[in-house]
Amino acid sequence: MHSLADAILPVLPRLRRYGAAVTGSRRAGDQYIEICLETLIQEPGRITPAADIAPQLFDLLHDAVDACGVEAEAPADPNLESLQRAVLGLKLRDRRLVLLRLLEGFSLAETATLLDMSEVEAESRLKEICTEFKDMCAARVQVIENERKIPADLADIVAHTDHRLIGIAADSHDATTLA
């Protein structure tokens, strides 16, 4: 068992980060990890020491969360960044998909396996979610500039950064009318 503990120890920081991200709370994430580790003590056969430990631990954590349930709605905490709120607002499976792939760096194949989905399905859903996030995070920009060439240049920059140009105004009066 000592070698198993040695193999698990380096994965725990990642597992804690993931648990906190999935639940929206470090405290709740840690509670699920406790359940996960207690399950491992009671059922040591759940982990194959010869195989990569990380995906097995993440899978065991999923089992703990699924057995106990986790709130799938974004909290109304105004201190959270909009992207954090967006991730927490995802359905649990989508949240896991985003976090496993983009936060924890699992390959697409590993992520799909952990979520019992095909790679094609995982990739397609991940693209959809990223597009939704990109649209959600895009700013509405109004250019206020009385020079001739500068507004067009600024509008071009706004367009190339995937933000939305709502208009160009020559002065604050025109900007107020446009807004």
Domain count, the chain: 3
Q: Alpha carbon of 7 to those of 33, 54, 58, 135: distances in Å?
A: 16, 9, 14, 41
Q: Could you read off the pLDDT of 61-109 as tens digits, one per residue?
A: 999 999 887 654 445 555 556 667 778 888 999 999 999 998 899 999 9
Domain boundary among 24, 54, 70: 70
Q: Give the number of other CB atoms < 10 A from CB of residue 86.
A: 18
The whole model's pTM is what?
Answer: 0.72
Q: Could you read off the pLDDT of 78-90 as tens digits, one per residue?
A: 555 666 777 888 8
Residues in the chain: 179
CATH number at residue 97: 1.10.10.10
- Could you tell me if 80 and 127 lie in one domain? yes
Q: What is the extent of the structural domain holding 116? A: 72-136
